[in-house]
Structure 1
């Protein structure tokens, strides 16, 4: 029995479009004097994020992991004094499969020393506007979006209010585990489709969704995570932070992630203590952002699925 799985899923036109996009991205950063760097995609440490699973492997008889992001390596370079830098290459995540996901994907991640999240949002908008030829950009706080569409303050609403809102807005066969899952469900199923066709930059997330971002009070005094996400037509493209530089707080968050994983029966991984050491040595104040290049190419070329822009997705790898 013959099979066509040896063939690429993407057309030659799509792969030429990919090559042109990568060249355009590199030119964007060359003009801005941001250095392209390489960091390991194979590491003895894994992600701690409870919502992401690293792909395990072996190296020299020891456990190793394919990098889910270049973040830790880039931050170690920043702490060593390398200055503004970016990575454009492969990243890997367990269980990521679907029309918009592949376990092996192309990520763009960059860091700007001395910048905060607001200034980096402007540069993300510049890149997306240039690549996608879109001029319409809207800035919305997380609170503004929830209040506009659901008449709900996501920072101050009670857990029962959030569960009630989920029940009213969605027909689920299960009950969300906590307020964070309620907010994630409302965002992905109810709010993302309302963002329109232009570029939307959503900022000031709930403090318990800070990941590796600073937590600071907003204009109302509410502690918020100084992070943002970029969307085009409701499709999430980028996730950025005003980066945490406090080594003790970084260690606390790693340990909290580990405890969460243990409590919920998730895979336990060795976290990146070398990042804690780098922060202790003195990483400069900076903002950083990660952007999904395959999704960007889908939008730029009008492709419907990720397999149209990857030569060999996991089913053909």
Structure 2
């Protein structure tokens, strides 16, 4: 049957409901309980009340939900309704219902919303149910739910029509409920450590705080170009200059770059700054954050994909996390003599052997970063802090003591991907200006991801910026890990998709 035929049949039922004198689009549902509340009270965990116990309580409830199953048995109809991933059976019996309740029940379709009122009971089959004495019709679904028995399976359709994905696949709804709990848990953790949540601009006159290609827009009234932020860093640091001591933001960032299983152009980050802290303090803050969120989700050991032999993989978030330098990790996982990484000529040769693009045009520091990504990153499954990055990769970071070529930075890797990035923040305005000028030279050489000069930020530093530890955590990737999701699209409610070709449409039922 074509969708147009389904729609017409359902609209005809809607007209019949109107003929019964019903308000078929009521403004409010009769409801005293959520489905989850009823299940928690009578049928979940260690609580499983018998029919006799339920009769003794004589509890009458009103509950609403979407109809997802209908089973007729003569003068009885059994309907399952769902709300927030929870499911409850409703038992309709013709003689129990206030008029015109039975006529309403006979006109229900899968996908409709209803509210029912009646006592909580348990059927002969043992299923917790509401024995309806009254039914309120709330909404007619003009279109049927997808693939009645198997749910929405096609991934493209799931991402494009997330609302159908959430209806059809309860585990998807649970993933996004978990996402909300995780982000709320992160906020609680940061506030418990004395951080104050703030907000910074999403549209900025100069994109800064990271090396990335921005999205560009235009403000008509001011007649100026603006950039969607690639990071909130430079604004958060201005707040430290202004007297805030510990700040954080759960922020949306936008980078005009590729789409992959681990990248989306619009993404969520936690970013924080703590006056007086350095990288070691931030390490402790970070590993305790991940341990706390893992515990919130069920325990410090969490499943994540499979090992190469096909067995389930488990990641332990027990602290402390492992620490390795970038060169040590590259040497170990690339099976490279560590001494070769100290020689610029050998680094270039290794980069050429690894087929790193335009190796001859890159600095030694940039090549070291590329070699690390090529040889080591995918092997860092258990939580690992990688430290001592080349200065070319970190223009906003303090140098290591006595070493002008490397900086006091870490990246945290888990599951073979970067989860967090942190610095002992650069607070010398003269050196910061030199770093910005070096970035401008890179832009002129063709690197369109290099940073632009933000003179106002440098001026802010000249007013005094204390020692500071900064942290950025990829929230989408954290949710991937904590929910055992293999792709970032599975943890974004509405991932960016290429528009469908003109005239294309999801396959009809």
**Alignment partner of 2:199: what SS?**
coil
1:84 aligns with 2:241: no
Q: 1:316 to 1:297 in 2, by over 3 A?
A: farther
CA contact (8 A) 1:91 1:106 kept: yes
1:15 CA displacement: 1.5
Name which one, 1 or 2, has greater alpha-carbon Rg. 2
Q: 1:269 to 1:234 in 2, by over 3 A?
A: closer
1:119 CA displacement: 1.5
**Alignment partner of 2:342: what SS?**
coil
Give, in whole Å, the separation in 2 of the partners of 1:79 and 1:16: 37
Give, in whole Å, the separation in 2 of the partners of 1:69 and 1:151: 37
Give, in whole Å, the separation in 1 of the partners of 2:498 and 2:175: 17
1:39 CA displacement: 0.5
1:285 aligns with 2:467: yes
**Alignment partner of 2:493: what SS?**
coil
**Who is 1:194 aligned against?**
379
1:251 aligns with 2:436: no
1:184 aligns with 2:346: no
Which segments of 5 or more consecutive residues in structure 1 lack a partner in the other structure? none
CA contact (8 A) 1:106 1:294 kept: yes
Q: 1:175 to 1:140 in 2, by over 3 A?
A: same
**Who is 1:161 aligned against?**
346
Q: How does 1:1-317 map to 2 (within 5 A)?
A: 4=157, 5-7=160-162, 11-47=172-208, 51-59=211-219, 60=221, 61-132=223-294, 133=300, 134-135=317-318, 137-149=321-333, 150-153=336-339, 156-158=342-344, 160-168=345-353, 170=354, 172=355, 174-176=357-359, 177-178=361-362, 179-195=364-380, 197-217=381-401, 223-264=405-446, 266=448, 271-315=453-497
**Alignment partner of 1:315: what SS?**
coil
**Alignment partner of 1:282: what SS?**
coil
Report the TM-score, using the length of structure 2 for normalisation.
Answer: 0.57
Q: 1:268 to 1:188 in 2, by over 3 A?
A: closer
Is the deviation greater in 71-80 or in 87-96? 87-96
1:6 CA displacement: 3.9
Q: 1:118 to 1:269 in 2, by over 3 A?
A: closer
CA contact (8 A) 1:48 1:257 kept: no
How many pairs are equivalent? 310
Give, in whole Å, the separation in 1 of the partners of 2:378 and 2:473: 20
Q: 1:186 to 1:223 in 2, by over 3 A?
A: closer
Give, in whole Å, the separation in 1 of the partners of 2:225 and 2:449: 14
* Displacement over 4 Å in runs of 4+: 1-4, 267-270
Give, in whole Å, the separation in 2 of the partners of 1:6 and 1:92: 23
CA contact (8 A) 2:422 2:471 kept: yes
1:147 CA displacement: 3.8
CA contact (8 A) 1:28 1:127 kept: yes
CA contact (8 A) 2:209 2:230 kept: no
